[in-house]
Structure 1
Amino acid sequence: MTGDTAPTRAAEAVSDAALLTASGIVKAYGRGLLQRSSPVLRGVDLTLAVGEVVGLVGENGSGKSTLMRVLVGDLAPDAGTVTRHGRIGYCPQEPVVYERLTCDEHFELFGHAYRLPEQAERATRAEIYARLGFEKYAATRADRLSGGTLAKLNLGLALLADPEVLLLDEPYAGFDFDTYLKFWDLVAERRQAGRAVLIISHFVTAAERFDRIVRLHDGRAVET
């Protein structure tokens, strides 16, 4: 998870390479008794390059979360293609956890799903606990966590496999200011390590932390 203060040579050599490319993404949902089609995405194009941090903004209902689910492969588009290179880490807006499992058990479960060696999973888990500051909740069940700690677990599970592409839907909702700053330290390290990060936010208050801001408007992506 950690990175040096300068981009790696590998990242510099492929700085223009795309880790994720979405082309012409269309998605509509049926509404009402007659299931009339209501378009949400009308041909979205989006590219995430090596070492790039991109913000995705838009009004409520503009399709931000729908696009994120398409990018991660959780939702099939009606038209268009998504090309991914490397592992994808996904932090949904609503944490998907098992209420009766502890934080440790969640990391173990996700580690098995990612086929991580046990020693590597344990080491990364310990680092995530330390970096986000929730070690004392390692043995606490998910249904007994506060909203802020649950958000830390949600982010930690997305980071566990050190993915090449990190897709985050409102990841810092519920964070205190100290954790918010730690979050941006982690994002900066991923940029320096040649990873790509896409962050959904209702509004951007720290534009300088992003390489680009993309706005969803009328079902299409427009750079601001």
Structure 2
Amino acid sequence: MGTAEGVLETGFAAGNRPVLAAAGLSKSFRGRRVLDGVDLALPGGCIAGITGENGSGKTTLLRVLLGDLRPDAGRVLFGGSYGHCPQVPVLNLSLTVAQHLVLFRTAYRLTSMERAESLLGRLNFASCLAQEAGTLSGGTQQKLNLTLALMHDPDVLLLDEPYQGLDHETYQVFWELAAELRDRGKTVLVVTHFVPDSTPFDVLLTLSGGRLAVVGGTR
């Protein structure tokens, strides 16, 4: 993919081309400017976080990055496949966990359930295969949500408040999975209003006044 001119650099080595880039993203609602020329460039092999107050435009930015919402100005460039884990699980409450996996296996054109089965074990809800999604707890619905986003092994993973409702053990597993993706050259972008620990992030940004700024990270 090409690179975007004038994007926000995040401190990674030169030559590591971004797999997710945005340049000059602007979006207004009813005269209120939510995004005001947002620039972003994330390479392969990183975990990035975007934080900000409620109402700062984080979910709007994520929807624009995904192509779910058209910006008033600017462009987004993706390299490779992507997975999306929304804040509110998008599940068919009448389908079982197993039926969701079959549905997404077909949608992703996967030849094997091996990765999905591994995620079920890692996230400790393999015993729920026969349960309808509507009978699952909020935390287990989020586990299914995450599994569906990861089962095709995307190059870029976009997550909106991904650890909301997760217990401590699953929270730790989430970060293990994120680190494994990063170490395999994948890109993980976490959008959240709550960052209890900044150490898992290679770069941490804040969205304020419609613009992104780097506020921390380990690289």
**TM superposition score normalised by structure 2:** 0.90
CA displacement, residues 56-85 of structure 1 (integer Å, 9 cap, x when unaligned): 000110000111111111111111100001
| Cα distance in 2 for residues equivalent to 1:167 and 1:131 | 20
Please, which moves more after superposition, 131-140 or 198-207? 198-207
1:106 to 100, 103, 128: 100
Residue in structure 1 matched with residue 56 of structure 2 by the alignment = 62
From the superposition, tell whether residues 171 and 165 of structure 1 become closer, same or farther in structure 2 (CA, over 3 Å). Answer: same
| Change in CA separation of 1:38 and 1:212 when aligned onto 2, cut-off 3 Å | same
Structure 2 counterpart of 1:23, one-letter code: A
Q: How far apart are residue 125 of structure 1 and its match? A: 1.5
Report what 2:124 is aligned to: 133
1:124 is displaced (CA, Å) by 1.5
Please list every run of 5 or more consecutive structure 2 residues that lacks an aligned counterpart in the other structure.
1-12
Q: Which runs of 5+ in 1 are unaligned?
A: 1-12, 31-36
Aligned length: 203
Q: Provide the C-alpha distance between the structure 1 equivalents of 2:131 and 2:162, rounded to a whole number of angstroms.
A: 21
Alpha-carbon distance between aligned partners in 2 of 1:208 and 1:57, rounded to the nearest angstrom? 14
1:82 is matched with 76
Match of 1:48 among 29, 42, 45: 42
- Alignment partner of 1:219 is 2:219: no
Mapped partners of 1:108, 1:17: distance in 2: 35
* Alignment correspondent of 1:181: 172
Taking a change above 3 Å as real, the CA distance of residues 112 and 207 of structure 1, as seen in their structure-2 partners, is same
AA matched with 2:202: D
Shift of 1:108: 1.2
Cα distance between partner residues in 1 of 2:95 and 2:28: 35
Deviations 1:78-123 (A, max 9, x none): 1110000111100000111111111111111112111212xx2x21
Inter-CA distance 211–116: structure 2 relative to 1 (3 Å threshold): same
Partner residue, 2:18: 18
SS at match of 1:209: coil
Distance in 2 (CA, whole Å) between partners of 1:73 and 1:153 is: 23
Question: Which deviates more from structure 2 when the two are superposed, residues 173-182 or residues 104-113?
Answer: 104-113
Q: What is the percentage of aligned positions where both structures have the same residue?
A: 48
Q: CA RMSD in A?
A: 1.4
Q: Which amino acid in structure 2 is aligned with residue 96 of structure 1?
A: V
Instruction: Find the aligned partners of 1:222 and 1:201 in 2 and give their Cα distance.
Output: 15
Shift of the alpha carbon at 1:200? Answer: 1.2
What is the distance in 1 between the residues matched to 2:196 and 2:14?
Answer: 30
TM-score, length-scaled by structure 1: 0.88
1:200 to 191, 200, 210: 191
The 3-state SS of whatever aligns with 1:179 is: helix
- Partner residue, 1:148: 139
Partner residue in 1 for 2:160? 169
CA-CA distance at 1:14 after TM superposition:
9.6
Rounded to whole Å, the distance in 2 between the matches of 1:14 and 1:137 is: 45
**SS of match in other structure, 2:131:** coil
